[in-house]
């Protein structure tokens, strides 16, 4: 059977370099299989995060031939074999070791988001047509590939001022929940810095769950921020409308 050459980053936060490994290819093999082969037969201390190996847990993110991917869903036969396949850790997060990065920033951002808060005396009826758009956001597996490719994080290192696409998706899932009753618009504008996003759609392109992050989550949320902060007439109209509704 044919062999593939993998060039894998080995190292830690201070130092590191790529190292080449020869791996036999099996039919249908994915990059994570090749990494497991290296662990199991060549270098048992190669650090890789993974769990389900089925595209459901979002643990095995890395940059394969320069493209951010889930290694469990990247088929070896989809990659050119005439040169080594490069596997590097996600660039936007500090390296711990080899392909494992420190993603704790994401968990800190998540903590800032007020949880689902139902309306008082909620009647728990919801209709599928009202939920379809929210269920799209709930597909997120937190692989953090969208966070990794976002320019605001990757090139401008603005982690402290910015929430990132993953958490815009999460806020969208709460804001558009048919029975949620709190506003996270101020949070979006201030702590999560949604204004820094200039909708280049890099996040949407890498999403393994094919969530339309920019079109369905970020742009509607940006509109809510604009309505709330920059459009006094709309604001007035909304107030009048809601006053009528509550009667």
Partner 1 sequence: MTNPAKYETHEHDVLIIGAGGAGLRAAIEALAAGAHVAVVSKSLLGKAHTVMAEGGIAAAMANVDKADSWRTHFRDTMRGGKMMNNWRMAQLHAQESPDRVRELEQWGALFDRTSDGDILQRAFGGHTFKRLCHVGDRTGLEMIRTLQDRGVQMGFDVFMECTVICLLTDGNRVVGAFGYWREQGRFVVLKAKSVVIATGGIGKAWPITSNSWECTGDGMALAYEAGADLLDMEFVQFHPTGMVWPPGVQGLLVTEAVRGEGGILRNKNGERFMEKYDPKRMELSTRDLVARSIYTEVKEGRGTEHGGAYLDISHKPAEYVKKKLPSMYHQFKELADVDITKGPMEVGPTCHYMMGGIRVEAETAASSLPGLFAAGEAAAGLHGANRLGGNSLSDLVVFGRRAGQAAAAFAAKASPSTINNAQIAEAERAMLAPFDRGEGENPYSVHRDLQKVMQNLVGIFRTADDLSNALGELEKLKQRAARVRVEGSRLFNPGWHLSRDLQCMLTVSEAVARSAQARKESRGAHSRIDYPKLDDQLWGKQHNVITREGDSMKLTQVPVDPVPDGLKELVAEEK
Q: Cβ closer to partner 1: 61 or 222?
A: 61
Enter the tokens of residue 212: 């339309």
**Neighbour order of strands in the sheet with 61-64:** 16-24, 3-11, 85-88, 61-64, 67-70
* Secondary structure element (H or E) that encloses residue 5, with its range: strand 3-11
Dihedral angle sign, alpha carbons of residues 83, 29, 88, 43:
negative
Q: Cβ closer to partner 1: 145 or 222?
A: 145
Segment near partner 1 (CB under 8 A); pick from 86-94, 105-113, 154-162, 222-230? 105-113
CA atoms of 213 and 207, how far apart (whole Å)? 8
Examine residue 56 and tell whether it contacts partner 1 (CB under 8 A): yes
Q: Give the residue from 44, 51, 138, 146 showing the smallest Cα distance to 93.
A: 146
Residues 227-246 that bind partner 1 (CB under 8 A): none
Least separation in angstroms between CB 231 and partner 1? 29
Least separation in angstroms between CB 162 and partner 1? 20
Q: Cβ closer to partner 1: 31 or 152?
A: 31
Examine residue 111 and tell whether it contacts partner 1 (CB under 8 A): yes
CA atoms of 208 and 69, how far apart (whole Å)? 8
Examine residue 53 and tell whether it contacts partner 1 (CB under 8 A): yes
CA atoms of 50 and 214, how far apart (whole Å)? 27
Examine residue 8 and tell whether it contacts partner 1 (CB under 8 A): no
Least separation in angstroms between CB 167 and partner 1? 12
Residues 120-149 that bind partner 1 (CB under 8 A): 122, 124-128, 131, 134-135, 138-139, 141-142
Q: Give the residue from 168, 113, 109, 163 showing the smallest Cα distance to 137.
A: 168
Q: Cβ closer to partner 1: 74 or 86?
A: 74
Least separation in angstroms between CB 40 and partner 1? 4
CA atoms of 219 and 111, how far apart (whole Å)? 23
Examine residue 166 and tell whether it contacts partner 1 (CB under 8 A): no
> What is the phi/psi pair of residue 67, to 5°?
-105, 130
Residues that bind partner 1 (CB under 8 A): 12, 26-30, 33, 39-41, 43-59, 73, 75, 96-98, 100, 103, 107, 110-111, 115-116, 118, 122, 124-128, 131, 134-135, 138-139, 141-142, 174, 177, 180
């Amino acid at each position: 059977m044919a062999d593939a050459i993998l060039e894998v980053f080995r190292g830690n936060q201070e130092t590191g370099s790529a190292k080449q490994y020869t791996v036999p290819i099996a039919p249908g093999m994915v990059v994570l299989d090749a990494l497991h082969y290296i662990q199991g037969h060549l270098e048992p201390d190669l650090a890789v995060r993974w769990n389900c190996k089925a595209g459901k847990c979002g643990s095995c993110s890395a940059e394969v031939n320069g493209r951010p991917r889930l290694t469990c869903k990247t088929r070896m036969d989809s990659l050119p074999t005439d040169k080594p396949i490069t596997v590097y850790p996600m660039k936007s997060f500090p390296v711990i070791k080899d392909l494992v990065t420190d993603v704790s920033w994401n968990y800190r951002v998540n903590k800032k988001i007020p949880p689902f808060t139902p309306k008082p005396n909620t009647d728990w009826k919801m209709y599928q047509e009202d939920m379809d758009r929210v269920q799209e956001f709930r597909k997120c597996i937190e692989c953090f590939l969208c966070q990794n490719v976002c320019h605001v994080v990757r090139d401008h290192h603005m982690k402290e001022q910015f929430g990132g696409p993953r958490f815009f998706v999460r806020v969208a899932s709460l804001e558009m929940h048919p029975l949620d009753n709190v506003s996270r618009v101020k949070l979006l504008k201030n702590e999560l810095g949604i204004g820094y996003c200039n909708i280049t759609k890099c996040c949407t392109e890498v999403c393994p769950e094919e969530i339309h992050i920019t079109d369905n989550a970020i742009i509607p949320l940006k509109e809510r921020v604009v309505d709330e902060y920059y459009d006094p007439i709309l604001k007035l109209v909304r107030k009048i409308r809601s006053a009528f509704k509550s009667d």
